[in-house]
Amino acid sequence: MFCLGVGKGTFSKLLITRLGLHHISVGDIIRTEIGRQSTVGIKAQKYVTQGELIPDDVVNEVVLQEVRKHSFAHLLLDGFPRNVKQAQYLDHHMSDLNAVHIQLEKDIAVEKLLGRRICSACGQNFNITDICRNEYVMPAILPDPATCPRGPVECEQYRELEKRSDDTRETILKRFEVFETETAPVIRYYGEQNRLKTFDVKRGVDDIDDLVNVMVEWIICLIFIYILTLYYYIIAIIYLWSKHTQPL
């Protein structure tokens, strides 16, 4: 899932519930490592604060470790790969990978990124930006005490929405520059191999049902292609075996 500011993390958490997938958020992993000031976190921090991509050798190893925990199966990678080399690295270690490109106009995406907030009490992500113009209807995503994992009482008492230190306009625009030079080629990489599905966001998380339908249809199509390919392989093996066993 590629486009900046589209709500990859929010969509991912909804999709894993609907489709029974394991969610691997590279951004969350890196932020955790930065918070712990681990070796990986210290290396990553200087790139994150400048809006630059973390070096491949650092992020690749982090991703592969997480993927191995789930035995390489039924995964939804959020925020990775970010460049073609990372995509090729994944292809080397995993098979049957496909990509979803969730699109959003740049000016809308910038506004949504500037509105991102994290609750210091429960760690959930929210967005205070309310967009309603033209075909876009994307309401703010605000805390609901009834659904807070810490309970409604603690939510009301300790809730505090904080802005990420790297969510400044300057850093966000820098991310878009990096996106155009580094990540846009990844979209072409998967597209040229017919491993890409594109989805346009207009209503934020309210588009989840349409996105699920698109992904389910795509998964069914991929399964059909796999079964058909397997069928032709079996037919070919049977044919070659019969030719080999025919009496001279």
What pLDDT digit, counting tens, does each position of 218-232 carry?
Answer: 778 778 877 888 888
pLDDT for 119 beyond 70:
yes
Residue 88: which pLDDT band, with cuts at 50, 70 and 90? Answer: very high
pLDDT for 71 beyond 80:
no
Answer for the pair 186, 81: CB distance below 8 angstroms, yes or no.
Answer: yes
Residue 42 has what pLDDT? 87
Q: DSSP letters along 41-60, please?
A: HHHHHHHHHTTPPPPHHHHH
Residue 246 has what pLDDT? 66
pLDDT for 183 beyond 60:
yes
User: How many C-alpha atoms does 152 have within 13 Å on its Cβ side?
Assistant: 4
What's the average model confidence in pLDDT over 191-205? 89
Residue 189 has what pLDDT? 93
Contacts of residue 16, defined as CB under 8 A and 6 or more positions apart, other chains included, come to 22, 23, 76
Answer for the pair 211, 199: CB distance below 8 angstroms, yes or no.
Answer: yes
Residue 223 has what pLDDT? 80
Q: Between 144 and 70, where is the model more confident? A: 144
Share of the chain above pLDDT 90, in %: 18
Residue 73 has what pLDDT? 66
Contacts from 120-127 at CB under 8 Å and sequence distance 24+?
120/158, 120/160, 120/161, 120/162, 121/148, 121/150, 121/154, 121/155, 121/158, 121/159, 121/160, 122/148, 122/149, 122/150, 122/155, 122/159, 124/148, 124/149, 125/9, 125/10, 126/161, 127/7
Answer for the pair 160, 143: CB distance below 8 angstroms, yes or no.
Answer: no
Contacts of residue 14, defined as CB under 8 A and 6 or more positions apart, other chains included, come to 205, 208
Q: Between 51 and 184, where is the model more confident? A: 184
Alpha helices by DSSP H, listed for the chain, are 8-19, 26-36, 39-49, 56-69, 84-93, 106-114, 152-158, 169-178, 184-192, 208-245
Residue 19: which pLDDT band, with cuts at 50, 70 and 90? Answer: confident
DSSP 8-state class, residue 141: B
> Three-state SS for 15?
helix
Residue 248 has what pLDDT? 55
Residue 72 has what pLDDT? 60
DSSP 8-state class, residue 5: T
What's the average model confidence in pLDDT over 193-210? 89
Looking at every residue in the chain, the average pLDDT score rounds to 85
Q: Residue 47, Cβ neighbours under 10 Å: how many?
A: 16
Answer for the pair 56, 85: CB distance below 8 angstroms, yes or no.
Answer: yes
Residue 85 has what pLDDT? 92
Contacts of residue 89, defined as CB under 8 A and 6 or more positions apart, other chains included, come to 56, 60, 81
pLDDT for 126 beyond 70:
yes
Q: Between 81 and 10, where is the model more confident? A: 81
Residue 87 has what pLDDT? 92
What's the average model confidence in pLDDT over 15-39? 86
